[in-house]
Amino acid sequence: MLRMCNSLLFAVLLATPMAAQSLDSLLARMTLEEKLGQLNLLSANGRASPQQIQLVRDGKLGGLFNVIGAENTTPVQRVAVTESRLKIPLLFGLDVIHGYRAIFPIPLGEASSFDPDAAEATARAAGQEAAAFGINWTYAPMVDIARDPRWGRIAEGSGEDPYLGSLMAAARVRGFQQNIFATAKHFAGYGASEAGREYAETEISERTMRELYLPPFKAAVDAGVASLMSAFNDISGVPASGNAWLTDTVLRREWGFSGFVVSDWTSVQELVNHGIAGSQAEAGRRALTAGVDMDMQSSIYVDSLAALVRSNRIPMAVVDSAVMRILRAKQRLGLFRDPYRARAAPANAELRAIARRVGAESIVLLKNEPVGRGAACCAPTLPLSKSGAVAVIGPLADNKEEPLGPWHTQGRAEDVVSVLQGIKAKVTAGTQVLYAQGAAIEDTSTAGFAAAVAAAKQAKVAVLVLGERGDMSGEAASRSSLGLPGVQEQLLEAVVATGTPVVLVLMNGRPLILEWASDHVPAIVETWFLGVEAGNATADVLFGDLNPSGRLPITFPRVLGQVPIYYNRRNTGRPADVNNKYSSKYIDVPVTPRYPFGFGLSYTTFGYGNLKLSSARARVSDTVTATVTVTNTGSREGTEVVQLYVRDMVASVSRPLRELKAFRRVTLKPGESRAIDLPIAVKDLWFIGLDRKPVVEPGTFRVYVGPSSAEGQEATFECIP
**Interface positions with ligand GLC (CB under 6 A):** 95, 139, 185, 264-265, 475
How far is residue 642's CA from residue 646's CA, in Å, rounded to a whole number? 14
- Residue 96 or 703: the one with the smaller Cβ distance to ligand GLC is 96
- CB closest to ligand GLC, residue no: 139
Which helix (H) or strand (E) segment holds residue 713: the answer is strand 711-719
How far is residue 187's CA from residue 245's CA, in Å, rounded to a whole number? 12
* Closest CB 510 distance from ligand GLC, rounded Å: 17
From the number of C-beta atoms within 10 Å of its C-beta (0-12, 13-18, 19+), residue 595 rates as buried
SS3 601: strand
From the number of C-beta atoms within 10 Å of its C-beta (0-12, 13-18, 19+), residue 510 rates as buried
668: Cβ contacts below 8 Å, ≥ 6 apart: 606, 630, 631, 632, 637, 638, 639, 640, 674
85-115: buried (b, 16+ CB within 10 Å) or exposed (e) per residue?
Answer: eeebbbbbbbbbbbbbbbbbbbbbbbbbbbb
The catalytically annotated residue of 264, 295, 398, 540 is 264
548: Cβ contacts below 8 Å, ≥ 6 apart: 360, 363, 364, 365, 525, 541, 600, 601, 602, 603
Position 479: which residue type?
R
499: Cβ contacts below 8 Å, ≥ 6 apart: none
* Closest CB 139 distance from ligand GLC, rounded Å: 3
Q: 679 pairs with which residues across the strands?
A: 625
From the number of C-beta atoms within 10 Å of its C-beta (0-12, 13-18, 19+), residue 338 rates as exposed
- Residue 411 or 593: the one with the smaller Cβ distance to ligand GLC is 411
* Closest CB 175 distance from ligand GLC, rounded Å: 18
Is-catalytic flag, 338?
Answer: no
* Closest CB 151 distance from ligand GLC, rounded Å: 13
Position 157: which residue type?
G
- Residue 191 or 438: the one with the smaller Cβ distance to ligand GLC is 191
* Closest CB 95 distance from ligand GLC, rounded Å: 5
Half-sphere exposure of 689 (CA within 13 A, CB side): 12
From the number of C-beta atoms within 10 Å of its C-beta (0-12, 13-18, 19+), residue 578 rates as exposed
- Residue 139 or 608: the one with the smaller Cβ distance to ligand GLC is 139
How far is residue 160's CA from residue 553's CA, in Å, rounded to a whole number? 7
- Residue 10 or 265: the one with the smaller Cβ distance to ligand GLC is 265
- Residue 409 or 562: the one with the smaller Cβ distance to ligand GLC is 409
* Closest CB 393 distance from ligand GLC, rounded Å: 35
Reported in sequence order, the residue ranges of 508-622 that DSSP labels E, i.e. its strands, are: 523-526, 606-613, 617-618
* Closest CB 536 distance from ligand GLC, rounded Å: 29
* Closest CB 473 distance from ligand GLC, rounded Å: 13
676-691: buried (b, 16+ CB within 10 Å) or exposed (e) per residue?
Answer: bebebebeebbbbeee
- Residue 295 or 475: the one with the smaller Cβ distance to ligand GLC is 475
Backbone angles phi, psi at 619, to 5 degrees: -95, 170
- Residue 264 or 293: the one with the smaller Cβ distance to ligand GLC is 264
- Give catalytic residue positions: 264
